[in-house]
Amino acid sequence: MSSAMNRRTFLAAASALGLAACAARPDGRTLGHTVVGNGPDTVLVLHEWLGDHTNYDTVLPYLSGQRARYVFADLRGYGLSSSLSGSYTLQEAAADALALMDSLGAGRFRVVGHSMSGMIAQYLASHHSDRVQSVVCISPVPATGFKTDAAGLAKLAAVITDDDALRAAVTARTGKRYGQPWLDRKLAVARRARPEAMMGYLGMFTGNDFADRMVGLTMPATLIVGAQDIPYYSRASLEPAFRRAFTTLDVAVIADAGHYSMVETPVLLASLVERGLFA
């Protein structure tokens, strides 16, 4: 499915729900993105390594478009930003996010990050706290990065080009509960990303550690994890560091979701996200 078709589908879904929506491709200065809703607050929503902004399609019916404008952005090399190359660093991703918010006139904003972009959300909160009003991290890579050895890194790198490796990774992160159509759809979404971008972002989320900056942040934060995910993304694994990082933290565990709660349990995920954003 082409990026243009994905965009039309996303916008049609939003329009059918009575949500104001528009989309923009990169203009050389900002990321491609889709805006849904017209409320007074601005929410930047970022995607994971194996997806793009369309990951959130199933969440759209349950968002309060009158409360906020939701900006679903695609990182460089993904979705609406597939034409953008770059260094794929954490600093670049954060700078891209801020440039997009600037272009939309959002001096301050709220941010939602999933998996690898959960790390970007934490970076924005810790390095640009004057801009970030609240943070929601969904099954996030922590500020210490996804620590692994050479064999683990090779296993992750294989996902970029090996379809069976990708299916195995997704299966493990969803409790081995879903059938082939789910895996086929996840594979199709992941293969829309440029391989060089995926490799670059792999280095980003495995090679950075800014945990020393993640202490005593005062904006409200929410950590959401799925009980069916791998142990690395469990509450027990992530909560201690988030407690140190944020003075106000809410933690939610979704019993019937793994790593992709926006697809697995969209109604609950949307409700938890909005509760966290506007607490």
Which residue has tokens 């034409």? 83
Query: DSSP assignment of 180-215, as one string?
Result: HHHHHHHHHHHTTS-HHHHHHHHHHHHH---GGG-S
Give 90-111 pLDDT, tens digit per residue: 999 999 999 999 999 999 999 9
Residues making up the chain, counted from first to last: 279
Single-letter residue type at 192: R
Encode burial over 184-193: b for 16+ CB neighbours within 10 A, e otherwise. Answer: eebeebbebb
- Could you tell me which residues come within 8 angstroms of residue 80 by beta carbon, excluding any fewer than 6 positions away? 3, 7, 23, 24, 25, 26, 31, 32, 33, 34, 52, 53, 74
Q: Rounded to an integer, what is the distance from CA 242 to the centroid of its chain?
A: 17
Which pair of tokens denotes residue 117? 């972009």
Give 43-75 pLDDT, tens digit per residue: 999 999 999 999 999 999 999 999 999 999 999
Which pair of tokens denotes residue 130? 């004057």
Alpha-carbon gap, residue 150 to 250, rounded angstroms? 34
Enter the DSSP assignment of 176: T
Single pTM value for the model: 0.92
Q: Among 135, 141, 134, which Cα is nearest to 119's?
A: 141
Along the 279 residues of the chain, how does pLDDT read in single tens digits? 445 545 555 555 555 555 445 555 555 678 999 999 999 999 999 999 999 999 999 999 999 999 999 999 999 999 999 999 999 999 999 999 999 999 999 999 999 999 999 999 999 999 999 999 999 999 999 999 999 999 999 999 999 999 999 999 999 999 999 999 999 999 999 999 999 999 999 999 999 999 999 999 999 999 999 999 999 999 999 999 999 999 999 999 999 999 999 999 999 999 999 999 997
Alpha-carbon gap, residue 99 to 29, rounded angstroms? 7
Q: What is the CATH number of domain 3-277?
A: 3.40.50.1820
- Whether 142 contacts 211, CB under 8 Å: yes
Q: Is 193 helix (H, G, I), strand (E, B) or coil?
A: coil
